[in-house]
Amino acid sequence: MSRHADIRRLTAPDIRARKGGEPIVCLTAYTAPMAAILDPHCDLLLVGDSVGMVVHGLPNTVGVTLDMMILHGQAVMRGSRRAMVVVDMPFGSYEGSAEVAYANAARIMKETGCNAVKVEAGPTVAANIDYMVRRGIPVMGHVGLRPQAVMVEGGFKAKGKAGEERRLILDEARAAAEAGAFAVVVEGVAEGLAREITDAIPVPTIGIGASAGCDGQILVTDDMLGLFDWTPKFVRRYADLKAEIAAAAASYSADVRARTFPGEAETYFSNKG
Ligand code: KIV
């Protein structure tokens, strides 16, 4: 039997069944050790294409590649046991045609062993979601602020304030759910619209900067850990790790410079466990 046989992860139907029930806890993860820390506390770990900005220092997610997503997806699968792992499909890997979307999603699933993929469900993507779901790929949608649309939008902007845009976002969420998405991320919209979408679709909504009116929540983990000076306004910081890391690095630096660094060979394994 494979090692995976004894791991019972949450699945797309498990998450789908939580509609209107116990809130769904989601965070992003990009590495094996962080996935291991978060896993007991989360229902779903998203290997978000935010990895491009958070880990690789890119200005937005447009430059993220399929190979990057697969590498980080493999790491998160190795580190986690229980949470459902969803890997983002990067810009350019699913919008062009249903066949291309399916081939790239299948590659992600085969090479990482993840449970599902996520796509930013703009106006033309529902048909590709339908094609993938019918062929065995669980798909999560993403509406509202779509970070991969940053170039046409001219920045990261809250969405759905005006009537026409509001209707479009509601339609995109409905279309993603009708196409078979098992859940839909709703990003950067006001509470009224988040609640309207949550009431309108039969699958869970996962909010990010979209109020408590969703079936679950997701945050970029590094934001909520306080690793960056700037975070979006809606992010609550649950830790101040940037300051802690800087203080640790300063203490280490002081030890090394004072020749008081306790790293001799006898103590090499003493911190284990
Ligand atoms: O890439 C990402 O981290 C995401 C979340 C913000 C939902 O898509």
Instruction: Say if 6 falls within a structural domain.
Output: no
Minimum CA distance residue for ligand 1 atom 5 = 48
80 and 177 belong to one structural domain: yes
175 and 210 belong to one structural domain: yes
- Give CA 204 to chain center in angstroms: 15
255 and 199 belong to one structural domain: no
Q: Which helix (H) or strand (E) holds 33?
A: helix 32-38
Tell me what the pLDDT averaged over the chain comes to.
93
Instruction: Say if 1 falls within a structural domain.
Output: no
Distance from Cα 85 to the centre of ligand 1, integer Å: 13
User: What average pLDDT score do residues 235-263 get?
Assistant: 93
The per-residue pLDDT for 7 is 66
159 and 111 belong to one structural domain: yes
Q: Are residues 70 and 106 in contact, defined by beta-carbon separation less than 8 angstroms?
A: no
Instruction: Say if 110 falls within a structural domain.
Output: yes
Q: What is the pLDDT of residues 14-35, one digit of tens each?
A: 999 999 999 999 999 999 999 9
83 and 156 belong to one structural domain: yes
Instruction: Say if 4 falls within a structural domain.
Output: no
CATH number of the domain enclosing 134 = 3.20.20.60
270 and 174 belong to one structural domain: no
157 and 248 belong to one structural domain: no
Asked whether the predicted pLDDT for residue 180 surpasses 70, the reply is yes
53 and 179 belong to one structural domain: yes
Among the listed residues 22, 187, 191, 244, the single catalytic one is 187
Q: Beta strand pairing status for 116-118 and 183-187?
A: unpaired
Q: Are residues 51 and 68 in contact, defined by beta-carbon separation less than 8 angstroms?
A: yes
Q: Beta strand pairing status for 44-47 and 116-118?
A: unpaired
Q: How far apart are CA 252 and CA 260, in angstroms?
A: 9
Instruction: Say if 5 falls within a structural domain.
Output: no
Distance from Cα 61 to the centre of ligand 1, integer Å: 10
Instruction: Say if 54 falls within a structural domain.
Output: yes
Asked whether the predicted pLDDT for residue 160 surpasses 60, the reply is yes
250 and 220 belong to one structural domain: no
The per-residue pLDDT for 214 is 98
Instruction: Say if 17 falls within a structural domain.
Output: yes
pLDDT category of residue 3 using cuts at 50, 70 and 90? low
* Probe residue for ligand 1, chosen from 208, 231, 234 as the CB with the greatest number of ligand atoms within 8 Å: 208
231 and 272 belong to one structural domain: no
- What percentage of the chain carries pLDDT values higher than 90? 83
Instruction: Say if 36 falls within a structural domain.
Output: yes
Q: How far apart are CA 176 and CA 204, in angstroms?
A: 12
Please confirm, yes or no, whether 187 is among the known catalytic residues.
yes
145 and 202 belong to one structural domain: yes
Determine if residue 148 is left, alpha or beta; phi over 0 gives left, psi from -120 to 50 gives alpha, anything else beta: alpha
Domain with 271, as residue range(s), is 241-273
Q: How far apart are CA 196 and CA 173, in angstroms?
A: 10
DSSP assignment of 135-171 equals: TT--EEEEEES-GGGHHHHTS---B--SHHHHHHHHH
Asked whether the predicted pLDDT for residue 273 surpasses 70, the reply is no
Instruction: State the total domains in the chain.
Output: 2
Q: Are residues 198 and 214 in contact, defined by beta-carbon separation less than 8 angstroms?
A: yes
pLDDT category of residue 73 using cuts at 50, 70 and 90? very high
User: What average pLDDT score do residues 161-171 get?
Assistant: 89
129 and 225 belong to one structural domain: yes
pLDDT category of residue 266 using cuts at 50, 70 and 90? low
User: What average pLDDT score do residues 186-196 get?
Assistant: 96
Asked whether the predicted pLDDT for residue 10 surpasses 80, the reply is yes
Determine if residue 57 is left, alpha or beta; phi over 0 gives left, psi from -120 to 50 gives alpha, anything else beta: left
For the beta carbon of residue 102, count every other beta carbon within 10 angstroms: 19
- What percentage of the chain carries pLDDT values higher than 70? 93
* Probe residue for ligand 1, chosen from 55, 86, 117, 220 as the CB with the greatest number of ligand atoms within 8 Å: 220
